[in-house]
Structure 1
Amino acid sequence: MKWESKLVSPYNGLERRSFWKTGVSETHPLELTDIYVKKFEIGRNDRIATAGSCFAQHIAHRLRQRGFQVLDSELPPPDLDTETAKRFGFRLYSARYGNVYTVRQLLQLIQECSGLRRPSVTVWEKNGRFFDALRPSIEPDGLCSVMAVVEHRAQHLSRVRSMLEQTDLLVFTMGLTEAWIHREDGTVYPTAPGAIVGSYDPLIYTFKNFNYDEVLQDFLELRNLLKALKSDIRFMLTVSPVPLTATAGHEHVLAATTYSKSVLRAVAGYLAMSFQDIDYFPSFEIIAGAQARGFFYESNLRSISAAGVDVVMRTFFREHFGSVESVAETPHNEVQSARCSVAAIDALQEVFCDEMLLEAFAP
């Protein structure tokens, strides 16, 4: 009898998605269909709140377009046109908190609206006008007095708390690990003092680059606080694929970007593996992964193309609802036209990203 040997390995019988050749190198950027498997269902009646870096604006906009109940606790005046409303921070997220780049920034916002912290410096000035230092781009022309800013912020915090108490699912896009903080009380600001308004004083403000342990502990504390407000809240985490505009550290901006995204992705992965109420959606991998071959970035290698956002959201909706967006069947020979078809992808509003203002300081 002839004896035949057969290799036995735990890799026998795994899916195509488990191997680099079949899951990545042989996959077209527009056909990455099996990278995401949902952890839980998202219902049409679930009340969804969105927050995070500028990439999260795309997610919020697409969810609204598809008829989901995306909360909006600070609606614009009815006679305000769309562009002006966006300029004043309306309809970008579920409240007018602007871009929330770091987990610590979101944690402190929740602490503040829960009465657990009180920042020592909340008002910055420019040319005789006054701005909320914790959301400096929301009132682009500023307000007439410090008291006006204080009153506006108190109203904002009340709306945020009300929104969080209703939220069934928080979609949070983790953007950065770098931040500028107040030396004495640790308050994190969304922009560097002096970048938009205010002025930089090294005796008052300092640069901070959060590490893995700090980001993880911040999110765990954040989760506990939100669970106290609404015990059945769930979380959808993503990592922004948008690179840093600039770094205040000593590394090259490319190395700084790699560090920041690696830390955030590692934290998000750990949280998703550890908690049933936390899911991770791989928008970062879809846009920045090797299989994309750089196709989803614009010429500045930073802005996300229309086709990129479309593929991200098609992946999300296909997994959750078995349906795709209107441009789901993009032929291989129409890759270039897909890159240029912004008008055909009506969900792709231009996002507001105040971090991009740092480009003005480049030599």
Structure 2
Amino acid sequence: MSGADETPPPPPRAAGAARPSNPYRDLPAERFWRKAVAGVAPFALDPGPRDAFRIARTDRVATAGSCFAQRVSQALARGGFRYHVTETAPEGLSPAEAQARQFGTFSARYGNLYGPRQFVQLFDRAFGAFTPALRAWRREDGRYVDPFRPTIEPGGFSDPDAVEAARNGHLARVRDLFETLDVLIVTLGLTEGWRCRADGAALSLAPGVAGGSYDPAEIAFVNAGTAEVIADLSGFLDRLWSVNARARVIVTVSPVPLAATYLPHHVLVANARSKAVLRAAAGEVCERGDPRLVYFPSYEIVTSHSHGGRYYDEDQRTVTEAGVAHVMRSFMTSFSPEACPAVRAPVGEAEFAGAAGVVCDEEAIERSLA
């Protein structure tokens, strides 16, 4: 027998005695892994919130964020919801041309917004609180692009003045969007990014990828931490509610991995860090109790190992139609239960059709190296 103190076993419970109090005893099944994950079929996994606000068919629903936000907007439109777009294609533009120029890709033509700093600055630029010094990037073909949405015009612009004129019209539509939307779905994608050293202007792509040229004296690489993401996400929400107090916001984290990392790490490690920061920050902000704000677990549904990786295509990055369909089933159960049948994905070959028509600016990094 050792000399260490040992805790004696509890005395036997007398027959008929009340069971001791246990804080887990009366919790619902969804709080237990065995019942809510291991105990259900993978396609039936549904971790969505059950006490969130409801979305009506008449609500103006807008989307902004990374590539995955486009998949959500497509599913909402298929489901008969009022997808709110304030920057529409000009008359006479063919559907193919409109898609190529990203009309309707998001609710306004801001392109991919990967991190919260871009959301904050988009708002500030739209409402006149921030004017970046950077006006335009010149491409190798002599045409110009908007550094803050460099892929929205495949043909580019003739000169910096044309870039600025188009940007001013765009920002007017962004103001309309923020002031008139009923529900905004925000999808956070990355913590890595590039900013102008002069004024901190946040870019969606590094210069040299889709225009401009990289000068480390002018452009800095930034990898946002949890505190910065929390501050930026909170700052954007405060700004939005200052012009639209009734707006409801759904925050998600994109399950699409990084296409590339600038950090001196394996991209798998960098991706894990980036998503962990975004998820932790989103959770902290959304758990503050504002009834207009809720977190939705798109990231958890797609990346859950219970699916055995079936929700990614062969590139291990593109989310399959089956994965999107699962996300939307849970989404509708949470926010619009009566609409669930309308968004069920078709069974068969079409269910695995991939991500046709989805624009992911980040993929331009690899193309620029070819």
TM-score for the superposition, normalised by structure 1: 0.91
SS in 2 for 1:310: helix
SS in 1 for 2:138: strand
CA contact (8 A) 1:172 1:236 kept: yes
SS in 1 for 2:240: helix
Partners in 2 of 1:13 and 1:291 — Cα distance? 26
CA contact (8 A) 1:180 1:189 kept: yes
Q: Could you tell me which of 241, 248, 258 is aligned with 2:255?
A: 241
TM-score for the superposition, normalised by structure 2: 0.90
Task: Give the corresponding residue for 2:340.
Answer: 324
CA contact (8 A) 2:193 2:223 kept: yes
Partners in 2 of 1:361 and 1:195 — Cα distance? 5
Task: Give the corresponding residue for 2:155.
Answer: 141
Task: Give the corresponding residue for 2:351.
Answer: 341
Gaps of 5+ in 1: 331-336
- Structure 1 residue 28: deviation in Å? 2.4
SS in 2 for 1:67: coil
- CA shift in 2, pair 1:362/1:325, >3 Å: farther
Partners in 1 of 2:349 and 2:273 — Cα distance? 28
State the Cα deviation string for residues 96-145 of structure 1 (Å, max 9, x = none): 00111011001101001111011011300012111101000001111111
12-21 vs 153-162, which moves further: 12-21
Greater Rg over alpha carbons, structure: 2
CA contact (8 A) 2:185 2:249 kept: yes
Partners in 1 of 2:272 and 2:93 — Cα distance? 40
- CA shift in 2, pair 1:181/1:324, >3 Å: same
1:256 pairs with 2:270: yes
Task: Give the corresponding residue for 1:333.
Answer: none
- Percent identity between matched residues is 37
- Structure 1 residue 14: deviation in Å? 2.5
Amino acid at match of 2:331: F
Partners in 2 of 1:67 and 1:189 — Cα distance? 34
Q: What pairs with 1:62-81 in structure 2 (closer than 5 Å)?
A: 62-81=75-94
State the Cα deviation string for residues 233-260 of structure 1 (Å, max 9, x = none): 1211110000000000122111111111
- Structure 1 residue 92: deviation in Å? 0.6
Task: Give the corresponding residue for 1:44.
Answer: 57
Aligned residues: 354
- CA shift in 2, pair 1:2/1:178, >3 Å: closer
SS in 2 for 1:341: helix
- Structure 1 residue 47: deviation in Å? 1.7
Amino acid at match of 1:24: V
Task: Give the corresponding residue for 1:85.
Answer: 98
Amino acid at match of 1:44: R
Gaps of 5+ in 2: 1-12
1:309 pairs with 2:327: no
228-237 vs 65-74, which moves further: 65-74
- CA shift in 2, pair 1:158/1:243, >3 Å: same
82-91 vs 141-150, which moves further: 82-91
82-91 vs 136-145, which moves further: 82-91
Partners in 2 of 1:279 and 1:4 — Cα distance? 45
Q: Could you tell me which of 104, 107, 111 is aligned with 1:94?
A: 107
SS in 2 for 1:324: helix
RMSD of aligned Cα (Å): 2.2
Partners in 1 of 2:262 and 2:224 — Cα distance? 13
- CA shift in 2, pair 1:287/1:338, >3 Å: farther
Partners in 1 of 2:145 and 2:321 — Cα distance? 33
Task: Give the corresponding residue for 1:151.
Answer: 165
Partners in 2 of 1:302 and 1:277 — Cα distance? 31
CA contact (8 A) 1:96 1:156 kept: yes
Partners in 2 of 1:109 and 1:321 — Cα distance? 29
- CA shift in 2, pair 1:329/1:253, >3 Å: closer
1:161 pairs with 2:178: no
CA contact (8 A) 1:310 1:325 kept: no
Partners in 2 of 1:268 and 1:34 — Cα distance? 16
Amino acid at match of 1:356: E
